[in-house]
Amino acid sequence: MRRGRAVAAATAVLAVVAGSLALTRLGSGEETGGAKDTGLPPATAPVERGDLRDSAQADGTLGYDKQRKVNAGAAGTITWAPRTGSTVERNERLYEIDGRPVRLMYGAGPMYRTLKPGDKGRDVEQLERNLAELGYTGFTPDEEYTELTSAAVKRWQKSHDVKQTGKVGPQDVTFAPGKVRIKSVGAGVGEQAQPGAPVLETTGSERIVTFRLDVAESRLAKAGTKVTVDLPDGTTASGKVSSVGRTAKPGDDPQDDSPKVTLTVSFDEPDEVDGFDQSPVTVNLTGETRRDVLTVPVNALLALPGGGFGLQVVRGGTTREVKVELGMFAEGRVEVSGGGLREGAKVGVPKI
């Protein structure tokens, strides 16, 4: 995770403490470098008015959605397999066993049994809707496999020059939510396949980015949040957060065990990211924006003895401490109000 301009709460507190100690020492009359302190801070910064944006950067990976494994529906020898990177759509060959094509159909549920007249279930309706989409009609798509369904199946089988049994099983069809992209081939031509053993690994066709974000910063990336993605060729593509994981897990970095959630990004213009796969990218997130507010550098803050925070305002060679209310931390600055502050006023900061 790379924060960019974002300031997390813990970092802000450390900066406040460091700035407070530095200014307190310099204002106490201690000598540093042989020169006696005059009571003025070593440096000043102006109070600025403008928009403050809470932002962050995260390292992500560009890939495809809906990764899944395709298991063999029958035992035999793989006689044809698709090319890695190719796309398979409804009714097209996904692979072949003993010269018999297994075709892709669309559906959320698996093809786990051989369907025949008299069978009932959601898998029946799933098959019937595919047949109807392909033009093999004459029945009502529902959860009952009738003789009318069987007749449509026979017409479908005849169109592919296979035995017209009127039955369909895992050796004929595999279901997937939509068209698939072949990510890898687990069993090549000439190798043996066993029922339930993986033969292909597929993905969906939609391009996505996956990345992980500290739980403390997950408020920056709710579903629908607009982002930009820096691509490997130096260009930038726009998108939005499409999903946010519900489970937080430690990161891969042994030096950073803070809990993180996994998020995905979809693109506004997917064609902009053609040609990249499993490539490192940078996700730029912009969260809340506070408009027309007064801000100061985070290290200008002082921890006041009575509690709360203040600033050392410098004017005409004199200083005074004023108590302020804090708002949002971002971009190395903090929103402040109160204390009679105005735009352009000078506040003390440690010398850099």
The pLDDT score that the predictor gives to residue 38 is 54
The pLDDT score that the predictor gives to residue 289 is 83
The pLDDT score that the predictor gives to residue 206 is 86
The pLDDT score that the predictor gives to residue 213 is 84
**Whole-model pTM?**
0.63
For residues 171 and 100, what is the distance between their CA atoms, to the nearest angstrom?
Answer: 8
What is the DSSP code string of 3-66?
Answer: -TT---HHHHHHHHHHHHHHHHHHTTT-EETTEE--SS-SEEEE-EEEEEEEEEEEEEEEEES-
**Torsion-angle region of residue 29: left (phi > 0), alpha (psi -120 to 50) or beta?**
left
The pLDDT score that the predictor gives to residue 219 is 67
In angstroms, the Cα distances linking 73 to 67, 110, 200 are: 19, 11, 12
The pLDDT score that the predictor gives to residue 288 is 77
Whether residue 172 is predicted with pLDDT greater than 80 in this model: the reply is yes
In angstroms, the Cα distances linking 315 to 294, 320, 344 are: 18, 8, 11
Whether residue 173 is predicted with pLDDT greater than 60 in this model: the reply is yes
For residues 296 and 52, what is the distance between their CA atoms, to the nearest angstrom?
Answer: 11
DSSP state of 82: P
The pLDDT score that the predictor gives to residue 255 is 64
For residues 36 and 203, what is the distance between their CA atoms, to the nearest angstrom?
Answer: 69
The pLDDT score that the predictor gives to residue 339 is 86
Q: 11-50, pLDDT tens digit by residue?
A: 444 444 444 444 443 343 333 333 344 578 999 999 999 9
For residues 165 and 168, what is the distance between their CA atoms, to the nearest angstrom?
Answer: 8
Q: For 30-34, 127-131, 249-253, 277-281, which range has the lowest pLDDT when averaged over its residues?
A: 30-34
DSSP state of 264: E
Q: Which two tokens stand for residue 158?
A: 């005849």
Q: 311-347, pLDDT tens digit by residue?
A: 999 998 899 999 999 998 888 899 999 989 999 999 9
Closest CA to 227 of 210, 246, 249, 215: 210
The pLDDT score that the predictor gives to residue 180 is 94
Question: Is the Cβ–Cβ distance between 82 and 222 less than 8 Å?
Answer: no
Which carries the bigger pLDDT value, residue 131 or residue 54?
A: 131
β-strands 100-106, 173-176: how paired? parallel
Q: For 35-39, 121-125, 182-186, which range has the lowest pLDDT when averaged over its residues?
A: 35-39
Closest CA to 12 of 298, 296, 216, 297: 298
Residue 251 pLDDT class (50, 70, 90 cuts): low
The pLDDT score that the predictor gives to residue 321 is 93
Length of the chain: 352
For residues 171 and 102, what is the distance between their CA atoms, to the nearest angstrom?
Answer: 6
For residues 35 and 147, what is the distance between their CA atoms, to the nearest angstrom?
Answer: 101
Judge residue 315's burial from the number of C-beta atoms within 10 Å of its C-beta, 0-12 exposed, 13-18 middle, 19 or more buried: exposed
Q: 264-300, pLDDT tens digit by residue?
A: 999 998 877 876 678 899 998 877 788 999 999 999 9
Interval 256-263 mean pLDDT:
81
Q: 70-85, pLDDT tens digit by residue?
A: 999 999 999 999 999 8
Which carries the bigger pLDDT value, residue 247 or residue 343?
A: 343
